[in-house]
Amino acid sequence: MQYKTAEEGTLIAHREAIVPGTIDRTRCSFMQGDACRLPMLPSFDVILCGNLLCRLPDPLLLLDRLPTLMQENGVVVLVSPYSWLAEYTPTEKWLGGFKKSNKAVHSKESLKKHMMGNGFVPVLDEDTSFLIREHARKFQWGVSHTTIWRYVGKS
């Protein structure tokens, strides 16, 4: 797969990612689409939502759709820095990062309550560092909340 990276100003570098021939690529497929308007899809063993929730116009639309996309005992990996911004997500749709009745509402707790209500059980809950390369001499470092959930079905 060929791609470009910013180097400096308008200078770019052409790069290529190559999968070694020893890897069986038929065992995995990747799809790209609008997470809030997914078409009818088959069920999956694993779904990864990386740094996505705080960039959706309605994160609960995705979270509520997940049970319909999962195989029994399937796994969902949710990774988010919870960088809520009104330009992406209307404030009334935020999972946390605000006060309600003068009490702090945190995304981590709202996510846990919602996922468990949708038939998922927690498997992992930790912070994960990430690095975003802007160009050859500038990077952004951040920390995302990483959770892994197993789908056991609604009771």
Percent of the chain residues topping a pLDDT of 90: 85
pLDDT band for 32, please (50, 70, 90 cuts). Answer: confident
pLDDT band for 68, please (50, 70, 90 cuts). Answer: very high
| pTM score of the predicted model | 0.87
Helix axes 107-117, 59-69, angle to 10 degrees: 30
Cα separation, 152 vs 155, in Å, equals 9
CATH superfamily for domain 43-151: Vaccinia Virus protein VP39 (3.40.50.150)
Residues near 31 by Cβ (< 8 Å), separated by ≥ 6?
A: 41
Lowest mean pLDDT, pick from 36-40, 42-46, 84-88, 132-136 = 36-40
For residue 155, the model assigns a pLDDT of 66
